[in-house]
Amino acid sequence: MILVYLIGLLMGGGVLALLMGQWNNSLPKWIALCTVSTGFILLLSFWIDQSRIMNTLLPETWMMEYRHDWISTFGISFHLAIDGLSLLLLVLTFFLGILAVLCSWKEVKERIGFYHFNLLWILAGISGVFMAMDLFLFYFFWEVMLIPMYFLIGIWGSENREYAAYKFFIFTQASGLLMLLAILGIYFIHGSNTGNYTFNYFELLGSDIAPNVAFWLMLGFMVAFVVKLPIVPFHSWLPDAHSEAPTAGSLILAGLLLKTGAYGILRFVLPLFPGAAQLVAPWAMLLGVIGIIYGAILAYSQTDLKRLIAYTSVSHMGFIMLGIFAFNELALQGVVMQLVTHAISTGALFIMAGMLKERLHTRDLRLMGGLWTQMPQMGASAILLAMASLGLPGLGNFIAEFLILLGAFKANVWLTILATCGLIFSAIYSLRLIQQVFLGASKNLDPIQDFSWREITLMASLLLSIIWLGLYPQPVINTVRPTIKKLEELFLIEKEYGHILINNKRIDSLPEKNVRQVKTELVPSNTHSYVR
Amino acid sequence: MLGNNFIALSPLLLLAGSSVLIMLLIALKLSHRTIQFASLFLFVLAFSSLFYAHDLFSHPIEPLLIVDRFSLFIMGLIIFSGLIVNILSYIYFEEKEESPKEYYVLLFLCTLGACVLAVSKHFISLFLGLEILTVGLYGLIAYLRARHYNIEAGIKYLILAAFSSAFLLFGMALIYLQTGSMEFLTIGQSLHSLTSLPPLFLTGLGLMLVGIGFKLAVVPFHMWTADIYQGAPTPVTGFIATVSKGGVLAVLLRFFIEIDGFRFKTLMLILISIAVVSMIIGNLLALQQKNVKRILAYSSIAHLGYLLVALIPGSTMSLQSVCFYLVVYVITILTAFGILIILSTKENDADDIESYKGLFWKHPLLACIFSVALLSLAGIPLTAGFVGKFLILAANLQAGFWLTAFVLVISSVIGLYYYLRIISKMFSGRGGVLLKEKRAYPIFYLISVIVLLTLTLFIILFGTYPSGLMYFVAYFQFK
pLDDT attached to residue A526: 43
Task: Give whole-number Cα distances, B11 to B8, B107, B108, B115, B181, in Å.
Answer: 8, 15, 11, 8, 28
Residues of chain A contacting B427 with CB distance shorter than 8 Å: 151, 154-155
Mean pLDDT of A391-413: 92
**A203-228: per-residue pLDDT in tens?**
898 788 888 899 999 999 999 999 99
Q: Which of A305, A288, A171, A287 is nearest to A250 (CA)?
A: A305
- Candidates B317, B403, B424, partner chain A, best to mutate (most A CBs within 10 A): B424
**Helical residues (DSSP H) of A134-253, grouped into ranges:** 135-144, 146-156, 161-194, 201-205, 211-228, 237-244, 247-252
Q: What is the ipTM of this complex?
A: 0.88
Q: Please determine, for residue B283, whether its predicted confidence score (pLDDT) is greater than 60.
A: yes
Which are the contacts of B224, defined by CB distance < 8 A and separation ≥ 6? Answer: B156, B157, B160, B214, B217
Residues of chain A contacting B386 with CB distance shorter than 8 Å: 143
**B440-472: per-residue pLDDT in tens?**
678 888 999 999 999 999 999 999 999 989 998
Are the Cβ atoms of A72 and B393 closer than 8 angstroms? no
CB distance from A42 to chain B under 8 Å? no
Query: Distance (Å, rounded) from C-alpha B259 to C-alpha B279?
Result: 26
Which are the contacts of B152, defined by CB distance < 8 A and separation ≥ 6? Answer: B227, B231
pLDDT attached to residue B358: 84
Backbone dihedral region of B351: left (phi > 0), alpha (psi from -120 to 50 degrees) or beta? alpha
**A247-264: per-residue pLDDT in tens?**
999 999 999 999 999 999
Q: How many CB pairs under 8 A join A and B?
A: 73
Q: Please determine, for residue A74, whether its predicted confidence score (pLDDT) is greater than 50.
A: yes
- Looking at chain B, which residue has its C-alpha nearest residue A141? B381
pLDDT attached to residue A208: 81
* Chain B positions with Cβ closer than 8 Å to A: 361, 375, 380-382, 386, 390, 393-394, 397-398, 405-406, 409-410, 412-413, 416-417, 420, 424, 427-428, 465-467, 470-471, 474
Closest approach of chain B CAs to the CA of A1, in angstroms?
Answer: 20
Which are the contacts of A22, defined by CB distance < 8 A and separation ≥ 6? Answer: A113
Which are the contacts of B145, defined by CB distance < 8 A and separation ≥ 6? Answer: B98, B151
**A352-385: per-residue pLDDT in tens?**
999 988 888 888 888 888 888 888 888 999 999 9
- Candidates B391, B393, B404, B420, partner chain A, best to mutate (most A CBs within 10 A): B420
Are the Cβ atoms of A188 and B398 closer than 8 angstroms? yes
Q: Which of A235, A347, A330, A218 is nearest to A291 (CA)?
A: A235
- Looking at chain B, which residue has its C-alpha nearest residue A143? B381
**A151-186: per-residue pLDDT in tens?**
999 888 888 888 999 899 999 999 999 999 999 999
Q: Please determine, for residue A527, whether its predicted confidence score (pLDDT) is greater than 50.
A: no
**Which residue of A139, A177, A188 is in closest CB contact with B397?**
A188
Mean pLDDT of B97-103: 82
**Which residue of A71, A151, A184 is in closest CB contact with B427?**
A151
Q: Please, which residues bridge with residue B60 across strands?
A: B66
Higher-confidence residue of A514 and B151: namely B151
The answer to whether residues B412 and B378 touch, using CB atoms and an 8 Å cutoff, is: yes
Within 10 angstroms of residue B102's Cβ, the number of other Cβ atoms is 16
Query: Using the 8-state DSSP alphabet, how is residue B335 labeled?
Result: H
Q: Establish whether the linkage from the previous residue to A211 is cis, with ω within 30° of 0.
A: no
Are the Cβ atoms of B397 and A174 closer than 8 angstroms? no
Are the Cβ atoms of B390 and A180 closer than 8 angstroms? yes
pLDDT attached to residue A504: 41
Residues of chain A contacting B417 with CB distance shorter than 8 Å: 166, 170
The rounded percent of chain A whose pLDDT value lies above 90 is: 57
pLDDT attached to residue B439: 62
pLDDT attached to residue A60: 63
User: Is residue A8 classed as helix, strand or coil in its secondary structure?
Assistant: helix
Query: Distance (Å, rounded) from C-alpha A272 to C-alpha A497?
Result: 17
pLDDT attached to residue A440: 82
Q: Establish whether the linkage from the previous residue to A233 is cis, with ω within 30° of 0.
A: yes
Q: Please, which residues bridge with residue A67 across strands?
A: A79
Residues of chain A contacting B420 with CB distance shorter than 8 Å: 150, 165-166, 169-170
pLDDT attached to residue B100: 83
**A96-140: per-residue pLDDT in tens?**
999 999 988 888 888 888 999 999 999 999 999 999 999 999 999
Mean pLDDT of A311-318: 93
Q: Which of A358, A442, A448, A349 is nearest to A390 (CA)?
A: A349
Q: Which of A285, A309, A310, A315 is nearest to A297 (CA)?
A: A315
pLDDT attached to residue A511: 45
Mean pLDDT of B115-126: 94
- Candidates B317, B372, B377, B380, partner chain A, best to mutate (most A CBs within 10 A): B380
Q: Is B199 exposed, middle or buried (0-12, 13-18, 19+ CB in 10 A)?
A: exposed
Chain A, residues 83-112, CB within 8 A of chain B, namely 111
Closest approach of chain B CAs to the CA of A531, in angstroms?
Answer: 25
Which are the contacts of A39, defined by CB distance < 8 A and separation ≥ 6? Answer: A6, A9, A10, A94, A97
What is the rounded average pLDDT for all residues in chain B?
90
User: Is residue A490 classed as helix, strand or coil in its secondary structure?
Assistant: helix
The answer to whether residues A256 and A130 touch, using CB atoms and an 8 Å cutoff, is: no
Residues of chain A contacting B424 with CB distance shorter than 8 Å: 154, 162, 165-166
Are the Cβ atoms of A170 and B416 closer than 8 angstroms? yes
What is the rounded average pLDDT for all residues in chain A?
87
CB distance from A364 to chain B under 8 Å? no
Distance of CA A44 to the CA centre of its chain: 19
Are the Cβ atoms of A144 and B417 closer than 8 angstroms? no
- Looking at chain B, which residue has its C-alpha nearest residue A18? B364
Q: Please determine, for residue A503, whether its predicted confidence score (pLDDT) is greater than 60.
A: no
Q: Could you state, in order of their start, the residue ranges of all structural domains in chain A? A: 1-522
Q: Is B94 exposed, middle or buried (0-12, 13-18, 19+ CB in 10 A)?
A: middle
- Looking at chain B, which residue has its C-alpha nearest residue A177? B409
Closest approach of chain B CAs to the CA of A144, in angstroms?
Answer: 7
Quickly state the pLDDT bin for B436 (edges 50, 70, 90): low
Q: Please, which residues bridge with residue B120 across strands?
A: B65
